[in-house]
């Protein structure tokens, strides 16, 4: 059972509101508005309250991929990574877990419908994203110079177009929607587990009182930033393309021709399979003792 005390019935009718309530509580603790991050000091600040939810250990937060340690002196919890983490899932069956709904998937869905292609120019993507709103971002809006610069960088690495299913663009979406889209860690650097699985592996899920006091005492207030400087989230240039086509080599006509050839081959294989099946049926029907004929019933679904 998760920290929120969900029951199956409550999950069915109110899990989204529970997750949104958790998100609002975390965003109220932000050191820097619009960063999508909460310092460990503030994350642990209300642990003495019976209603305080946030008590995961640093090791567990790191394993979940919910910890930003880019500044060793000020480790911070990444809000969307924490909300979507395995720590907030209900193990409702052996084959699946029920977790908080990903707000970023809905935002990506809007973008995919608008772009209708696996890649697009930086200008096309920027225009589409500027009209997409989230629970914490109003639209339309003007994207910052920093955001536009990062998008241009991704495009320049890919022949002038941005693959929207790669790690760099996912990272860019985290910049554009820091409270909804999780930061994409490089593959293999995190290993999210439920609290039960983490305990079984020998890990410590909850922070101790001593550790909590240590992080609170070591807290360093963040530098005050102006609104135009808020887009200061961590960026790495490591790319991982989940799906990729050579858009500069294959034209739409060539892609269509390749698809037509593939369909033709599949139809030919199907025809040969049916022909072979008929031949085997005929052999079985007339292959009995001399002068004997029989018909084997066939059923097709």
Rg (CA), the chain: 27
In a domain, 1, yes or no: no
In a domain, 3, yes or no: no
In a domain, 44, yes or no: yes
pLDDT tens for each residue of 251-282: 444 445 555 666 666 777 776 666 555 545 54
pLDDT tens for each residue of 94-151: 666 778 889 999 999 999 999 999 999 999 999 999 999 999 999 999 999 999 999 9
Rounded to 5 degrees, what are φ and ψ at 169? -70, -35
Packing angle of the helix pair 167-176, 145-157 (nearest 10 deg): 170
Are 48 and 171 found together in one domain?
no
Are 73 and 138 found together in one domain?
no
In a domain, 150, yes or no: yes
In a domain, 243, yes or no: yes
Are 74 and 213 found together in one domain?
yes
Are 209 and 70 found together in one domain?
yes
Are 243 and 155 found together in one domain?
yes
pLDDT at residue number 222:
63
In a domain, 134, yes or no: yes
Angstrom CA distances, 14 to 10, 11, 34, 134, 179, stand at: 5, 5, 26, 19, 20
Residues 6+ apart with CB under 8 A from 61: 67, 77, 82
* CA separation for the pair 79, 22 (Å, rounded): 10
In a domain, 171, yes or no: yes
Are 165 and 245 found together in one domain?
yes
Total of domains in the chain: 3
CA dihedral 252, 253, 257, 258 (to 10 degrees): -30
Q: Residue 16 in contact with residue 101, Cβ under 8 Å?
A: yes
Angstrom CA distances, 65 to 97, 134, 227, stand at: 18, 23, 27
Find the helix or strand (DSSP H, E) in which 197 lies.
helix 195-200
In a domain, 2, yes or no: no
Are 146 and 237 found together in one domain?
yes
Per-residue pLDDT of the chain (301 residues; tens, 9 = 90+): 444 444 444 554 466 788 899 999 999 999 888 899 999 999 998 766 666 789 999 999 999 999 999 888 889 999 999 999 998 887 555 666 778 889 999 999 999 999 999 999 999 999 999 999 999 999 999 999 999 999 999 999 999 999 999 999 999 999 999 999 999 999 888 888 888 889 999 999 999 989 988 888 887 666 655 544 444 567 888 899 875 444 443 444 444 555 566 666 677 777 666 655 554 554 444 344 444 333 333 333 3
The reported pTM is 0.73
Domain of 168 in residue numbering reads as 103-181+227-249
Q: Residue 53 in contact with residue 28, Cβ under 8 Å?
A: no
Are 88 and 213 found together in one domain?
yes
Are 28 and 53 found together in one domain?
yes
Are 275 and 241 found together in one domain?
no
Are 275 and 295 found together in one domain?
yes
Are 138 and 245 found together in one domain?
yes
Q: Which of 159, 163, 164, 166 is nearest to 248 (CA)?
A: 159
């Amino acid at each position: 059972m998760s920290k929120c005390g969900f029951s199956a019935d409550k999950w069915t009718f109110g899990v989204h509101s529970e997750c949104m309530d958790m998100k609002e509580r975390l965003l109220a603790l932000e050191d820097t508005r619009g960063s999508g991050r909460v310092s460990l000091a503030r994350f642990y600040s209300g642990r003495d309250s019976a209603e305080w939810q946030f008590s995961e250990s640093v090791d567990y937060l790191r394993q979940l991929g919910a910890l930003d340690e880019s500044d060793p002196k000020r480790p911070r919890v990444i809000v969307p990574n924490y909300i979507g983490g395995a720590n907030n899932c209900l193990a409702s069956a052996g084959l699946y877990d029920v977790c908080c709904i990903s707000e970023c998937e809905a935002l990506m869905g809007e973008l995919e419908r608008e772009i209708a292609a696996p890649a697009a120019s930086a200008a096309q993507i920027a225009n589409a994203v500027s009209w997409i709103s989230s629970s914490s971002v109003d639209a339309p809006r003007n994207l910052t110079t920093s955001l536009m610069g990062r998008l241009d960088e991704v495009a320049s690495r890919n022949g002038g177009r941005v693959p929207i299913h790669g790690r760099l663009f996912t990272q860019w979406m985290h910049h554009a929607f820091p409270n909804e889209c999780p930061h994409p860690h490089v593959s293999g650097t995190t290993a999210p587990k439920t609290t039960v699985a983490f305990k079984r592996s020998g890990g410590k899920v909850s922070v101790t009182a001593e550790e909590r006091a240590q992080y609170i005492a070591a807290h360093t207030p963040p530098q005050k930033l102006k609104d135009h400087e808020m887009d200061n989230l961590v960026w790495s240039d490591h790319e991982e393309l989940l799906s990729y086509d050579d858009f500069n080599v294959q034209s739409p006509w060539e892609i269509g021709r390749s698809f037509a050839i593939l369909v033709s081959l599949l139809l030919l294989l199907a025809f040969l399979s049916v022909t072979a099946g008929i031949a085997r049926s005929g052999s079985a029907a007339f292959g009995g003792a001399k002068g004997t004929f029989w018909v084997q019933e066939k059923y097709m679904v």
